[in-house]
Structure 1
Amino acid sequence: MSNYSIKDLEQLSGIKAHTLRIWEQRYNLLNPKRTETNIRYYDDADLKLILNVAMLNANGLKISKIAAMSSVDISQEIIRLTDQSVDHKDQIQALTICMIELDEVRFEKVLSTNILKLGFEETVLEVIYPFLSKIGLLWQTGAINPAQEHFISNLIRQKLIVAIDGQMGNSQGKTFMLFLPEGELHELSLLFSSYLIKKHGHKVIYLGQSTPQADLISVYNMQKPNYLLTVITSVPAGDKVQEYVDMLGREFPKSEIFVSGLQALEQSLSIPSNLRLLSYAKEIKEILLRMEAQTV
């Protein structure tokens, strides 16, 4: 069980701490505990409640009405609202609640409903990616544990793999080699890139997580791909990022290389002439569309 300050609840729910205190005093909405040194804190149940309350309040329900509702009524109203709403923020909040509660059935329903309404691509770009950013915030505050993060990441990974399997590459298209640096395991962005590339009729050589440099060079020499794409989220880090980027430019001079990820984007790197940094998910789609326009 995690403990949260009122500032944590503010960050996670979007409700100002001042407002939370008013709700607590006026409506007895929250029941803070105290440490042995008399410092107030909130638990998992308080977090789940305030996430639900924030979503209902954002959709027009008065706080006085919400405070009078039972926990069952609140849950039912959240489900009804999620099923009807097309607002991305509501869907992200719903996914967050599913993750905290480890509710796979509800997660599947929320995601499937979004895919039916928006299509798979827009669901990933407008709902899943912002949701993953929120997971990062939850990590920073200690609001989720590794099991919850792994639970939700694996469910998203399964959806991406199914979507990729539904796409057929084109022998007339370009060849992309996708990989993560050795030690890097954050695969979701790479999987989505694979989906987009195959959807646009190109061939994907997918090497996946933690690809050793020797293996990368070996496959490259056999396949001679037109493009390489990698994502550096956590490994390598620090000065090692520049070394890795330099290696890519040096070892694969005849291919265009796309690099994204937190570690690459947060540093001032010296970029080899055949390498390009991608700062957001839609950029790979824009590149693919420009490639199509050039072949028309």
Structure 2
Amino acid sequence: MSDPSQHAGDTPLYPIREVSRLTGVNSVTLRAWERRYGLIKPQRTPKGHRLYAQEDIERVEQILQWLNRGVPVSQVRELLDRPEVSEAPMADASDWPGQHAQLVTATEAMDLARLETLYAQSFSLYPVPVCIAELWAPAVRELEEHWGDRLGDTLQRLSLEAFLRTRIGTRLLHANARAQGPVLLMVPMPDDPGTLWRLLAALAASDYGYRVELLDTALPFGEIPLAVEALGASGVLMAGSHAGRSDLVRRQLPRLAEQLEVPLALCGPVARIREADLEESRVAVLGDDLDQAMAELSVLLPLTRLPLMK
């Protein structure tokens, strides 16, 4: 560990930025856990800055363990105060399922104010992998299953894409300024009609520690090696929501992987659907569980430092 302060008794204390680095929980979430739920109680400097002891860091890791088991944040404090409890209680039916239903309804109604509330609430209280796995990816999957040729479907999708592009783009901008990991180039699948899975994958990759360069428009495959060189990318990741054209997946993607000097990976529903078609190729098929996809990507594209809790 690094960057600790000392107090009476020579016990090291850590500022919030260091606790965030060590645990993978951003500072906004740490403050929300303290203020709204009393889950952690850091000490304060005379100027009001938070300082965390090793016991606080261990408590953050315990919180993450409960959250990753599906326990709502509102129930975690009771579990932390009862160390004899080893089994997670049944999740509150009004938590993830309720938020899921609200997210789908708000998207269909194009209720941007409600979307903003759900976005801010989820990402301020829960780590990014939990938010994606429990709320955003399931909601996107349900919406895409319902969207077709009905009047208003395209408008709903474009509205949600624009909403997430703005907010995730802002997060990427700030995260890239701090990230120390390799550059990951994300480009669209040429025939994928939407960007939702790519945006979620970009958020997951950024949270994992990569510096994400996200392109909104598909590049001709012949120009992707040029983009890799120009941006100094150490890997290329594509994400898609649909099966894609057979010739694209079976022939063009493997050919591109042979041409690139860096790994080429595929995630999202397209990766799950087309896994068998790419089995003999150099394309890394990561599936549609984005947290697991990032763990597999880190083997192909190692990070100098990984978050402790994933």
Report if TM-score (shorter chain) is over 0.5. yes
Listed one character per residue, the Cα deviations across residues 182-223 of structure 1 (whole Å, up to 9, x for unaligned) are 343522333333334344443333333311223212223445
Question: CA 1:166–1:172 in 2, change beyond 3 Å: closer, same or farther?
Answer: closer
One-letter identity of the residue aligned with 2:296? I
Task: Give, as a single letter, the amino acid of the residue that structure 2 aligns with 1:149.
Answer: R
Give 1:197's aligned residue: 205
From 190, 207, 210, give the equivalent of 1:182.
Answer: 190
**Does 1:107 find its partner at 2:115?**
yes
Aligned: 1:265 with 2:272 = yes
Report the identity percentage. 13
One-letter amino acid matched to 1:244: Q
Could you list the structure 1 runs, at least 4 aligned residues long, displaced by more than 6 angstroms after superposition: 293-296
Cα distance, 1:149 vs. partner? Answer: 2.1
Gaps of 5+ in 2: 1-91
Residue aligned with 2:237, SS: strand
The answer for the alignment partner of 2:295 in structure 1 is 286
Select 1:276's aligned residue among 281, 284, 295: 284
Contact 1:245 1:272 in 2 (8 A): no
User: What is the rounded CA distance, in whole Å, between the counterparts of 2:229 and 2:266 in structure 1?
Assistant: 20
8 Å CA contact 1:179, 1:207 repeated in 2:
yes
CA distance 1:153–1:85, change in 2 (3 Å):
farther
Alpha-carbon shift at residue 289 of structure 1 (Å): 6.0
Q: What's the offset of the Cα at 1:233?
A: 3.2
The corresponding residue for 1:256 is 263
CA contact (8 A) 2:238 2:265 kept: yes
CA distance in 2, matches of 1:184, 1:234: 7
Task: Check 1:212–1:200 CA distance in 2 against 1; reply closer, same or farther (3 A cut).
Answer: same
TM-score between both structures, scaled by the size of structure 2:
0.58
Higher helix share: 1
CA contact (8 A) 1:138 1:144 kept: no
Amino acid at match of 1:257: L
2:174 to 166, 170, 173: 166
**Paired residues, what number?**
212
Aligned AA (1:123)? C
Is the CA contact 1:249–1:272 (under 8 Å) kept in the aligned structure 2?
Answer: no
Counterpart contact for 2:258–2:282, Cα < 8 Å: no
Q: Give, in angstroms, the shift of residue 266 of structure 1.
A: 1.7
- What displacement does 1:282 show? 1.3
Q: Map 1:228-243; keep pairs closer than 5 Å.
A: 228-234=236-242, 236-243=244-251
1:177, CA displacement in angstroms? 1.9
* 1:117-171 deviation per Cα after TM superposition (whole angstroms, max 9, x unaligned): 2244422331111100110232259596211222222212222112212203568
Residue pair 2:257, 2:282 contacting (<8 A) in 1 also: yes
Give the secondary structure class of the aligned counterpart of 1:279: coil
Counterpart amino acid of residue 265 in structure 2: F
- Contact conserved, 1:189 with 1:231, CA < 8 A, in 2? yes
Q: For the residues of structure 1 that align with 2:99 and 2:178, how far apart are their CA atoms?
A: 34
Query: TM-score scaled by structure 1?
Result: 0.60
1:91 correspondence with 2:99: yes
Query: 1: CA distance between counterparts of 2:186 and 2:106?
Result: 31
Aligned-residue offset at 1:93 = 0.5
